[in-house]
Amino acid sequence: MSTESKKPSLYERLGGIYAIAAVVDTFIDRIMVDPTLNANPLVDEAHHRVSKAGFKYLVTEMVGQVTGGPQRYTGRSMLESHSHLNISAAEWEVFAAHFKAVLDQYNVPAAEQQELFAIVGSTRPDIVVERPVAKAS
């Protein structure tokens, strides 16, 4: 019999769905009103079209699932829900800075933050519209 104990899932290490929901609640409140993100008229319109409560629910559901919890995400894919928003790399960086600030606010340990950023980072290709770099003449 192995004496090694199984490492708890990221979901468990984050404190389960109630802790995840608290972080998501604060995070969504921040990004929904960010002037840099809302300077993109497509993002601004989306932020005013969707219910904040419903958005928080879906994000909480998604984070629960991708961190190893029992939740099952029922929303649209990241590509389907973001491809029409024309989100730039700079806007992604603002989004990521808010995420980091909220994780710090809730004292999420560095190792768990790294895992979360890896998960979130994996969605970047489906969310960010990469623009070609202009060549100097």
Q: Look at residue 89 and give its three-state secondary structure.
A: helix
- pLDDT tens, position by position, 62-88: 999 999 999 999 999 999 999 999 999
Predicted model pTM: 0.88
Task: List CB contacts of 129: < 8 A, sequence separation 6 or more.
Answer: 86, 87, 88
When mean pLDDT is compared across 56-60, 98-102, 130-134, the lowest value belongs to 130-134
What's the rounded Cα separation, in Å, for the pair 47 and 50? Answer: 6
Quote the pLDDT of residue 37: 94
What's the rounded Cα separation, in Å, for the pair 99 and 92? Answer: 10
Q: Is the pLDDT of residue 23 over 70?
A: yes
What's the rounded Cα separation, in Å, for the pair 82 and 42? Answer: 10
Quote the pLDDT of residue 130: 80
Architecture of the domain defined by 14-127: Orthogonal Bundle (1.10)
Quote the pLDDT of residue 40: 95
Contact of 11 with 64, CB cutoff 8 Å: yes
